[in-house]
Amino acid sequence: MVILLGMKIIVQFSGGKDSLASLLWAINTYGKNNIIAVFCDTKWEHELTYQHIKEVIEKTGVEFVTLNGKYSFIELARKKLRFPSTKARFCTDFLKIRPFIDWLIEMNFDYTIIIQGIRANESKSRSKMTRECQYFKYYFTPYGKDKKGKDKYMNYRKKKIIELELLGKCDIERPFFDATANDVMTYIKDNGFKPNPLYYIGFNRVGCFPCIMCSKSEMDLLIKKQPEYLTRIEDAELELGATFFPPDYIPKHALMPFQTKKKGIMLLPSIQAVVRYLKRRNKKGEMFEKEYSNSCMSIYNICE
């Protein structure tokens, strides 16, 4: 692949499997000296993820940039007076998209190819994406409709983006768009690397920890193997006067009284309620060994 003068290859690196495979692919395709790996730090990541990122960067030797947005995860939730949710994922916008756009504007590269670890079979919304497109596509192409049926466009710092003529200078490439998760894991292994250690414990999602979209099986893992992160959630809930989980996360009979800042005491799926419900649900049969084990519990084919 020919690298043009002034071209930058930027890999959005989160510490997850797809972004690691994409980073390795970019190195193999463009050469490590032409790569900038960019990590948007939400300040809500697992310590193993931070360590994994550090080790990958040291081993690959690529240029590395950490971006910190205007807010951390908790600061953003504090500002919004609530946690993000599956229907209001403002965390992605404020903690990842905006800091990255700010950085692109600041750097004002002549031309960039942005490598993303996005796969079509991850979700319905991602299946509608394409392997290649322009990064600022939704500044001039609608990405949806508002409540009144009008087209919605991205507009964050649009004036500055137009002024710097960045609209046509940033292309996206998603090298594993048509791949499966196991394809990704195989590629990582074949290139002499290991994925984030959280996958070996059994977690499926490692970006933000815990994620507001974590499944009950992942909560079971937290309860059994990462209980210190339950305290992180509980402290945040008490500070915000809001619960981390959506209203229907557990059955109504399992809800517990919770002191909210907006409506007083309500029956909600607080972290205490969720933990109590899951422990009771699993009481008849332990899901894990009684003693902590480092044996692989991954849902992916990554164990030796």
Q: List Cβ neighbours of 45 (8 Å cut-off, separation of 6 or more).
A: 15, 207, 208, 209
pLDDT of amino acid 297: 61
Asked whether 279 and 260 are in contact (CB, 8 A), the reply is no
Query: What is the per-residue pLDDT for 287?
Result: 45
pLDDT value, residue 127: 87
pLDDT confidence of residue 5: 60
pLDDT of amino acid 288: 43
Confidence at residue 303, expressed as pLDDT on a 0 to 100 scale:
63
Give the separation between CA 46 and CA 229, rounded to whole angstroms.
Answer: 9
DSSP string, 113-154: EEE----GGG-HHHHTS-SEEETTGGGTS--EE-TTS-EE--
What pLDDT sits at residue 71? Answer: 96
Specify the amino acid at residue 76: L
The pLDDT, as a whole number, for residue 123 is 84
**Which is it for strands 7-12 and 111-115: parallel, antiparallel or unpaired?**
parallel
Separation CA 303–CA 200 (nearest Å): 8
Task: Report pLDDT for 124.
Answer: 85
| 191 φ/ψ angles, rounded to the nearest 5 degrees | -95, 10
> Which region, left, alpha or beta, applies to residue 146 given φ > 0 means left and ψ of -120 to 50 means alpha?
beta
Can you give the pLDDT at residue 106?
97
Of 212, 207, 200, 172, the closest CA to residue 20 belongs to: 207
- The per-residue pLDDT string of the chain (304 residues; one tens digit each, 9 = 90 and over) reads 556 666 899 999 999 999 999 999 999 999 999 999 999 999 999 999 999 999 999 999 999 999 999 999 999 999 999 999 988 889 999 999 999 999 999 999 999 999 999 999 988 888 889 999 999 999 999 988 988 999 999 999 999 999 999 998 999 999 999 999 999 999 999 999 999 999 999 998 898 999 999 999 999 999 999 999 999 999 999 999 999 999 999 999 999 999 999 899 999 999 999 999 999 998 765 444 443 344 556 667 566 5
pLDDT at 282: 84
Number of other residues whose CB lies within 10 A of the CB of residue 214: 20
What's the predicted TM-score (pTM) here? Answer: 0.90
| Chain centre distance of CA 268 | 26
Residue from 140, 116, 135, 152 nearest 19 by CA: 116
Taking residue 32's Cβ as centre, other Cβ atoms within 10 Å add up to: 16
Dist. CA 98–CA 102, nearest whole Å: 6
All structural domains of the chain, each given as residue ranges with its CATH number in brackets, are 7-190 (3.40.50.620), 214-281 (no CATH)
